[in-house]
Structure 1
């Protein structure tokens, strides 16, 4: 099995999401504790005991999901799991992919994600932005509908998740109008998402310069494992271009459909999702049914993936 490792972002979090793996592998809690030390906040207490509403706050969710993805990856390695042909992550998950590939060390990545989440939370005041999932329309139709609904405000296609699922984001009123327009254009469903910040839209362009400054201070190592980036669905040729691309990810869309096809081009015959939930597992199955599709989020799924990897 030649697999690509992918990592989920915001939206996959839940209370107790790492309990099963943590029961069997101390490295799970250790990974959360390392992040807690960097950020001076007890992330393990939050993920195990809540309160649940705290999990949906961007400044909490992003470090939690980074720690969850890296912890799951470390569990895989501790069980002699093989190395991937390439890595990618959805939105915030791209940072987990950078750690898994060996491009950035974990402690540095925790700091970067802390900065990223803080910038995002401050960029859009509560209630001013929104996101919605549009089901049953192709991407071009969604882009067209957003343009019709904008009326001088920002609303854009921000996540191209599958052939029939595109997420839109922008100013709250414009998102609401776009949901109505897209429903009239034939969308099967338009679902408002519980996200406190509209990720990957031009409302966040201004803060990308601050993120670029933080990334410029980080050491990116050359890795033998390719990382495919959300912005381009491709690798970067240099450390400088990689840092630029990661900063641009704040306000440019996630090209997930193209990314999954590109992972196949990098030699993957199977996609393994490392981290809580099964969001990417579901999307990947809709994108490319030729590829094997596994997820690791508990002991049973870990054993299944290890067995598959050993043939």
Structure 2
């Protein structure tokens, strides 16, 4: 039984994420406290109390990272549920870096805090966004994006699963693309809960800043393979940092990443953190896999019971 931990990215956040496990487990609270000290602001307040901050990129990224790492630590250190592989969608790749031991949690927090800042500065709020397109092939979506180029940049940004591709770009171009996509037969075109046109060339300035920022950090080698968003293949020690830079401005190959994990023999996928989007994608990409989501105490209890009965072998 080969287990992969997979981690969601920006857009999965919601007020109160992680609160149930935070209340129930000291280990979760300790990770939040560590994050707050590193970041210099009260992360519990951002995540658990009503405010307008959680959807701001500079807060969203460390918040999702913290929830994901906290739950992973609980699974690994308290319950002995460990991954053989890791992968994360977009921001989730940083959770995968921490859990696989390539990057310390404190360093990852500092990096994503700066990453969020760079992304916001590259394209300020309300100048771009992202939309999920259902029911059209990725090739058809790409051709429609090219048709609207006179209105501004819009391009495929996340290849999530068969018949779902996320597009990203400038607002006027997105609005025009939405009209054409619906005329072409798209079943749905849904705006995402993000504050910018991520994973497009519009983020080139952020990529350059991130490249410089990453020179200040050490990345360790790991025995746990991590699948890259940019290539859909296993990251090597030599290309880890360059792929993180490319990731900011390049499409996320999530479908290919899951196919790679499946071909590597992964039979159990555990989605960790807010939301269930990755579980849905995985079900559409590959068949015959066991998929769990761990976000609340009930999810965790069910998973631990399976392990104790011998139905989940780590």
| TM-score after normalising by structure 2 | 0.95
Q: Aligned partners of 2:32 and 2:117: how far apart in 1?
A: 19
Deviation at 1:81, TM superposition (A): 2.6
Say whether residues 1:299 and 2:293 are aligned partners.
no
Counterpart position of 1:22 = 22
Is 1:83 matched up with 2:62?
A: no
Partner of 1:41: 41
Quote the Cα distance in structure 1 between the aligned partners of 2:116 and 2:236.
27
After superposition, give the CA deviation of every residue in 1:41-87 in whole Å (9 maximum; x if it has no partner): 11111111131x32111111111000010001011023333321210
- CA RMSD, Structure 1 to Structure 2 (Å): 1.3
Aligned partner (choices 241, 244, 255) of residue 257 of structure 1: 255
Q: Distance in 2 between matches of 1:228 and 1:308?
A: 27
Aligned ranges for residues 266-281 of structure 1 at < 5 Å? 266-281=264-279
For residues 281 and 236 of structure 2, what CA distance do their matches in structure 1 show?
28
Counterpart secondary structure, 1:191: strand
For 2:59 and 2:202, the matched residues in 1 are separated by 21
- The within-5 A match list for 1:1-311 is 1-51=1-51, 53-151=52-150, 153-239=152-238, 241-309=239-307, 310-311=310-311
Q: Gapped runs of 5+ residues in structure 1?
A: none
Deviations 1:153-174 (A, max 9, x none): 2100001111111110011111
Say if 1:85 and 1:267, in contact at 8 Å, map to a contact too: no
The TM-score, its normalising length taken from structure 1, stands at 0.96
Question: Secondary structure, in 3 states, of the residue corresponding to 2:148?
Answer: helix
Q: How many pairs were matched up?
A: 309
The Cα offsets for residues 161-194 of structure 1, whole Å up to 9 and x where unpaired, read as 1111111001111111111111111101111223
- Match of 1:137, SS? coil
Which moved further from structure 2: 288-297 or 104-113?
288-297
- How far did 1:152 drift? 5.9
